[in-house]
Amino acid sequence: MSLVVGLMSGTSLDGVDAVLVDFSERPPRTLATFWLPYPDDIRRQALQLQAAGPDEIHRAAQLANALARCYAEAVRAALSVAGVAAAQVSAIGCHGQTIRHQPAAGYTVQLNNPALLAELSGIAVVADFRSRDIAAGGQGAPLVPAFHAAVFGDPGQHRVILNLGGIANLTDLNPGQPVRGFDCGPGNLLMDAWIERHQGRRYDDGGQWADRGQVLQDLLQRLLADPFFAADPPKSCGRDEFNSTWLDRQLAGNERAEDVQATLLALTAVTVSAAIGRWCGKPQAVFVCGGGARNQALMARLQEHLPDCRVAGTDFLGQPADWVEAMAFAWLAWRTLRGEPGNLADVTGARGPRILGAIYPR
């Protein structure tokens, strides 16, 4: 069987992306997609577990069970859209919900109960993709560059694939050169948190609110002074480094809210374009996936900062931007089932290629 479901719930904490992929074809073909928004209580609990608190072990275990039930619901919905039975599916590749990412301390935590997910779905589950890479000395992230190389690489064009999720990460696909990739810093997560604080909305649709503000250059420079941006790859980050508390420390307190939003959008555009310029040379095209690809203001700003290359969504390459990351974890699960490595040591800094993930049989 060549059908695999990929599940992704990222740092944006908006919900679960589910995609059913057929790996019998090249490139692999998406048969169905489904998005399940997180209930407010799951989102709130996940945010609370980003920091130390009472009874964490019990709270984390209960949230892992609730997440597994959400994941199972998303899988059932995706299979229903495709008219495919669970028995026809080889596996579910489930990333889980990151609540800690501390590769320097030797660990990463993605909440999930893959045994429960396998029980509820009747499908084998491949989970815990990042731990093996960290055990081998790597960052455990980003893991999607191997998939980007397999699906988006072109021998005739130097491309960068840019994922604008909660965190921004890129993959440099330069023909004849090793694949490179790393996290650039905040993608959408700070903008999302700021607009939710001030307007009660989960995200800035199209970047319209940011477009009404003015970039605060002094604030931008304070944000850019964070040492993560100047650090050499391999590197990865998450809410551990970039969060509302980190932002609040840089604010004077008298800024207009829309100006802060404009500055946060500029932060993402500046750090991404600087990373491309420093580490990727002069690509001919930057293809964007993730929720940020739908932020027209951000895409326009990226094009301004990268005038010599085309900036467009991965839709242009035949893969809708909203589903690329979930598809990547279906691909990683497919690699695991075949006994093939899923990481790129040049990207993560691991001692070598490793087969990623643990398999929970159906």
Per-residue confidence (pLDDT) for residue 55, from 0 to 100: 92
* Dihedral (CA of 191, 195, 196, 197) sign: positive
273 and 316 in a common domain: yes
Q: Are residues 102 and 170 in the same domain?
A: no
Residue range 250-271: mean pLDDT, rounded: 97
Separation between Cα atoms, residue 268 and residue 122, nearest integer Å: 41
pLDDT at 10: 82
| CATH code of the domain containing 293 | 3.30.420.40
Residues 124 and 16 in one domain: yes
pLDDT bucket at 244, cuts 50 / 70 / 90: very high
Q: In terms of residue numbers, what domain contains 251? A: 145-321
Question: Closest by alpha carbon to 163, among 335, 328, 337?
Answer: 328
CB within 8 Å of 345: residues ≥ 6 apart: 138, 351, 352, 353
271 and 151, same structural domain?
A: yes
Q: How many domains does the chain have?
A: 2
**Residue 310 sits in the same domain as residue 192:** yes
- Give 218-234 pLDDT, tens digit per residue: 999 999 999 999 999 99
Does one domain contain both 302 and 262? Answer: yes
Q: Are residues 314 and 329 in the same domain?
A: no
Query: Is 285 in the same domain as 170?
Result: yes
User: Residue 163's closest CA among 180, 177, 183?
Assistant: 183
Give residue 27's pLDDT: 87
β-bridge partners, 15: 37
Kindly report, residue by residue over 76-107, the tens digit of the pLDDT.
999 999 999 999 999 999 999 999 899 999 99
CA-CA distance, 96 to 71, in Å (whole number)?
Answer: 9
Instruction: Indicate whether 1 pLDDT > 80.
Output: no
pLDDT of residue 319: 94
Q: Residues 68, 185: one domain? A: no
Quick one: 99 and 117 in the same domain? Answer: yes
Q: Tell me, yes or no, whether 38 and 177 share the same domain.
A: no
**Mean pLDDT (whole number) for 113-132:** 98
